[in-house]
Amino acid sequence: MSALPPIPPIIAQLTGPLLLGHFFNWGLFGALTVQTYIYYIAFPNDRRLSKWIVGFTYVIELLQTVLSTRDAFRNFGTGWGNMIELDEVGWLWFSVPVLSSVISCLSQIFYAWRIWILSEQYWISIIVTLLSLAQFGTGIYSGAMAHIIGVFSKVQASLFKTTTVWLGGTALCDIIIAASMMYYLHKSKTGFKQTGALLSKFIRVTVETGLICATFAILDLAFFLAFKNNNYHLAPSIALSKLYSNSLMAVFNARVHIAGGRNGTPVGTYAESNPSFSVSGNRAAFKPTRSGVSVGNPGGITVEISHTREGLDERKLDSIEMSDVSTF
């Protein structure tokens, strides 16, 4: 048996980012599971397309977690101390660039559709879609080439151009989405307090999630280009798809309201102040009103439902997911 290559003095720079990346990935998968479950119990009457998007995203992320965990076990379990094993790409060529591109493309095209509904103009949506497809294509290409090359030590030197287009395009697309959604949601404000509060909430969620994704894509790209002899870029890269999927679910679940929470409406407020709201047994029921109601189990998760239509087109309300009617 031939002797294994010696462990270099920069071993922590090779294994540390990998370990942190897998920790982030597992933690964010747990958060995604909770968000998916909340969506499942809170919005049974959502349109079928929304349910398919949520289900597809979760299945892809489950696959990504299984594949990345397989490589984590190979690096830190069966192949521990073997520098040849550590330098092998393994299944990361598929679980990182390929699946991250799939999830980010799905999320960005979803936002492009919402921008088109809100703005009633197609040019921004076309730009977002083209950027999303460009980063999707370069991400797939980067993954395929990484699989062909096979070792991390050669991947960075060979793929810096396509990786720059992939991650740079992703970040640029996220920034355009965040700016456009913020502008058009703010423009949709009517002056009515309730509608304005709901729109402000969606502006905040959109900007926060979009900027988080853009920031980590830029960090991934910066580490990839600046540090060519270590694995710093893998810390944000392994968990990049989870950021997109969690951001997408955060937008879907932005309608959820915690009854009795610190910033929420006290338990029973709607039932006391709105005669069309009633609670029977463990299920809440309501009759639609123009002012809007909040329904759900007292003391638990409720869903904010708005039937406010003053000055705001119904399609726009539908596009920001505030017009779904759910009875629990």
How is 191-255 classified by DSSP, letter by letter?
A: S-HHHHHHHHHHHHHHHHHHHHHHHHHHHHHHHHHH--SS-TTHHHHHTHHHHHHHHHHHHHGGG
Q: Is 78 exposed, middle or buried (0-12, 13-18, 19+ CB in 10 A)?
A: exposed
**Binning pLDDT at 50, 70 and 90, where does residue 114 land?**
confident
Which pLDDT score is estimated for 128?
A: 93
Task: Name beta bridge partners: 295.
Answer: 303
Q: Tokens at residue 182, please?
A: 């913020």
**Quick check: is 57 in a domain?**
yes
Per the model's pLDDT, the better-predicted residue between 35 and 276 turns out to be 35
Which pLDDT score is estimated for 103?
A: 94
Q: What is the domain extent for residue 82?
A: 11-254
Which pLDDT score is estimated for 191?
A: 56
Q: DSSP string of 129-196?
A: HHHHHHHHHHHHHHHHHHHHH-BHHHHHHHSHHHHHHHHHHHHHHHHHHHHHHHHHHHHT--S-HHHH
**Quick check: is 259 in a domain?**
no
What is the b/e burial string over 119-128, where b = at least 16 CB atoms within 10 angstroms of the residue's CB? beeeebbebb
Which pLDDT score is estimated for 267?
A: 44
**Quick check: is 264 in a domain?**
no
Which of 3-12, 17-26, 300-309, 310-319 has the lowest average pLDDT? 300-309
**Quick check: is 74 in a domain?**
yes
**Quick check: is 311 in a domain?**
no
Which pLDDT score is estimated for 153?
A: 81
Angle in degrees, CA 99, 179, 59, rounded to 5: 20
**Quick check: is 320 in a domain?**
no
pLDDT tens-digit readout, 223-247: 988 887 788 999 999 999 999 999 9
CATH number of the domain residue 173 falls in:
1.20.1070
For 63, residues 6+ apart whose C-beta sits below 8 A from its C-beta are 95, 99
**Quick check: is 1 in a domain?**
no
Q: What is the mean pLDDT of the chain?
A: 77
Which pLDDT score is estimated for 281?
A: 34
Please state, in angstroms and rounded to a whole number, the distance separating the CA atoms of residues 278 and 291. Answer: 16
Q: Tokens at residue 154, please?
A: 């050669």
Count the domains in the chain: 1
Query: Strands 301-305, 256-258: parallel, antiparallel or unpaired by DSSP?
Result: antiparallel
Residue 325 C-alpha from the chain's centroid: 24
> Among 97, 75, 55, 121, which Cα is nearest to 220's?
97
pLDDT tens-digit readout, 172-207: 998 898 888 878 777 765 555 555 566 666 667 777
Map tokens 């591109």 to a residue: 101
For 113, residues 6+ apart whose C-beta sits below 8 A from its C-beta are 125, 319
What is the phi/psi pair of residue 304, to 5°? -75, 125
pLDDT tens-digit readout, 260-274: 666 555 444 443 434
**Quick check: is 82 in a domain?**
yes
